[in-house]
A = this chain, B = another copy of it.
Amino acid sequence: MPAQAAARQAQKERTHEALLHAALELSRRYGFAQISLRQVAGRAGVVPTAFYRHFDSMEQLGLALVEQSFATLRRMIRDAQRDPHVFDHIIDASAEILVDAVKQNRAHFDFVARERVGGSPAVRRAIQHELDLFVSELAIVLARLPHIETWSSEDVQMVARLFVRNMVSHAEEVADLPDGRPDLEERIKDGARREMRVIVIGFRDWRSAARRDDDR
From the candidates B172, B198, B201, name the one contacting A162 in the complex (CB within 8 A): B198
Which of A91-136 touch B at CB < 8 Å? 113-114, 116-119
- A119-B31, A119-B34 as given contacts; A197 in contact with B206, CB under 8 Å: yes
Does A45 have its Cβ within 8 Å of any Cβ on chain B? no
Number of interface residues of A (CB under 8 A): 29
Does A191 have its Cβ within 8 Å of any Cβ on chain B? yes
- A33-B31, A119-B31, A119-B119 as given contacts; A201 in contact with B194, CB under 8 Å: no
Does A37 have its Cβ within 8 Å of any Cβ on chain B? no
Q: Which residues of B contact A169 (CB under 8 A)?
A: 165, 169
Q: How far is the CB of A189 from chain B (nearest CB, A)?
A: 14
Closest to A27 in B: B119
Q: How far is the CB of A42 from chain B (nearest CB, A)?
A: 19
Which of A30-51 touch B at CB < 8 Å? 30-31, 33-34
Q: Are B114 and A117 in contact (CB under 8 A)?
A: yes
Q: Which residues of B contact A200 (CB under 8 A)?
A: 202
- Alpha-carbon separation in the docked complex, A165 to B165 (Å): 9
Closest to A116 in B: B117
- Alpha-carbon separation in the docked complex, A197 to B209 (Å): 11
14 new A-B contacts at CB < 8 Å, known A117-B172, A198-B206, A202-B206: A31-B118, A33-B119, A34-B119, A116-B117, A117-B118, A118-B119, A162-B198, A165-B169, A197-B202, A198-B199, A198-B203, A199-B202, A200-B202, A205-B205
Chosen A-B contacts, 29 in total, with CB atoms closer than 8 Å, are A30-B119, A31-B33, A33-B33, A33-B119, A34-B119, A113-B117, A114-B117, A116-B117, A117-B117, A117-B118, A118-B118, A158-B191, A158-B195, A162-B195, A162-B198, A165-B169, A169-B169, A194-B206, A198-B199, A198-B203, A199-B202, A201-B201, A201-B202, A201-B205, A201-B209, A202-B202, A202-B203, A202-B206, A205-B205
